[in-house]
Amino acid sequence: MTPTELTQALQWRYATKAFDAKKIIASETFDGLLDAARLSPSSFGLQPWKFLVVDSKDLREKLRAQSWNQPQVTEASHFVVLAAKEVITGADIQEWINCLAITQQTPIDQLAPLQGMIQQFTGAMSAEEMAQWNTRQVYIALGQLMTAAAVLGVDTCPLEGISAASYDQILGLEGSGYRTRVACALGYRSDLDKYATAPKARFAAEKVIQRL
C-alpha cells in the first residue's frame, strides 16, 4: 500500500450512520480485523482489554435499547464491544511475563527487571488512575481496528453514546474484572446514508502538525 492509497482509505472512512443489513463481512475479512485489534500496541504490552463479538440478535436488540436506539447496533454486519480491565494485578503481570518468555524464548529470570518495573509503575497508581490508563489502551485498539477496516474497505462506527453499566449487565461482565468502555459497529454503508458522500472536514496540516 502506498501513502496515497492509505490517505484515500482514510478519506473514504467515516462514522457510518446507516448500514446495509444485507451486506455481511466475509469471515476471513472479519477474522483479520479481530487480529488487527488483538495485535494493537499497549503500554508495556499488557493488553488490558477484551473484545466481545456480539453475534446474538437478541443481545444486540438489548444493547441497542441502551445505546439511544442507534440503528448501527443491530443493522451492522458485526458489533464489537471493547472492554478494559478494571485493575492490573500481579498475576496479570506474571501471565504477560510468562507469555513473553515463551514467545521470545527468553529465560524468565532475565525478564525479572522488566517485571519489577511494571509492578512498580502500576503499583503507584490509584484505582481511578489505573482504570483511566487501561481505558486509553482500549482506545488504541479501537483506532487500529477502524484503520484496518478502512484499509480493507469495511465501514465502521464507534459508539460512545451507550450505557456502559447496562452493557456490563447484559453481557455478563459484572464481576469479571472488565468494564465496557466503547463499542464499534462494522459492516457496509447503506446507499441511503447521506453522510457517506459528505466531504471530510479536517483542519489543515499546518494547524495540527508542528515540526520542531
DSSP, residue by residue, 132-186: HHHHHHHHHHHHHHHHHHHHTT-EEEEE--S-HHHHHHHHT-TTTTEEEEEEEEE
pLDDT at 175: 97
What's the burial of 32, exposed, middle or buried (CB within 10 Å: 0-12/13-18/19+)? middle
Q: 3-state DSSP call for residue 79?
A: strand
Q: 3-state DSSP call for residue 88?
A: coil
pLDDT at 77: 99
One digit per residue, the tens of pLDDT, for the chain of length 212 reads 999 999 999 999 999 999 999 999 999 999 999 999 999 999 999 999 999 999 999 999 999 999 999 999 999 999 999 999 999 999 999 999 999 999 999 999 999 999 999 999 999 999 999 999 999 999 999 999 999 999 999 999 999 999 999 999 999 999 999 999 999 999 999 999 999 999 999 999 999 999 99
Q: Which residues contact 115 (CB under 8 A, 6 or more apart)?
A: 93, 94, 97
**Whole-angstrom distance between the N-terminal and C-terminal Cα of the chain?**
29
Rounded to 5 degrees, φ, ψ at 23 are: -95, 120
What's the burial of 26, exposed, middle or buried (CB within 10 Å: 0-12/13-18/19+)? exposed
Sorted by where each starts, the structural domains of the chain and their CATH numbers stand as 3-85+132-208 (3.40.109.10)
